[in-house]
Amino acid sequence: MAKGFVCPVCGYNDPACPPYADKQDEWYQEICPSCGTQFGYGDASLSHEELRRRWLASGANWWSPNPPPSTFDGMKELRQAGLLD
């Protein structure tokens, strides 16, 4: 299985994380440690764009109780993923 995860909401990139926990080509019930989106739940009624807007409005802060990578910068992640101009 290929490795890597780029969150479609916040652009967080974790190359150590498997892209599909269910092995069916989609994230389901996985939670992004950066923005906190639970795929298959949080994005069931809101678009990734709306979830991104809300995450940005709340400060684009690290969501997980585990510490972020030392290089984490929410705005930089968005730009690198092409999700923010």
Quick: pLDDT tens for 17-69: 655 555 555 555 678 999 999 888 888 899 999 999 999 999 999 999 999 99
pLDDT number for residue 65: 95
Quick: pLDDT tens for 5-21: 788 999 998 776 655 55
pLDDT number for residue 27: 57
Query: Given 3-state DSSP classes, what are the helix, strand and coil percentages for the chain, each rounded to the nearest 5?
Result: 25, 5, 70
Residues 16/33, Cβ–Cβ less than 8 Å: no
Q: Which two tokens stand for residue 4?
A: 């890597």
Question: Among 41, 42, 73, 38, which Cα is nearest to 59's?
Answer: 73
pLDDT number for residue 82: 92
3-state secondary structure of 31: strand
Break the chain into its structural domains and give their ranges. Answer: 1-85
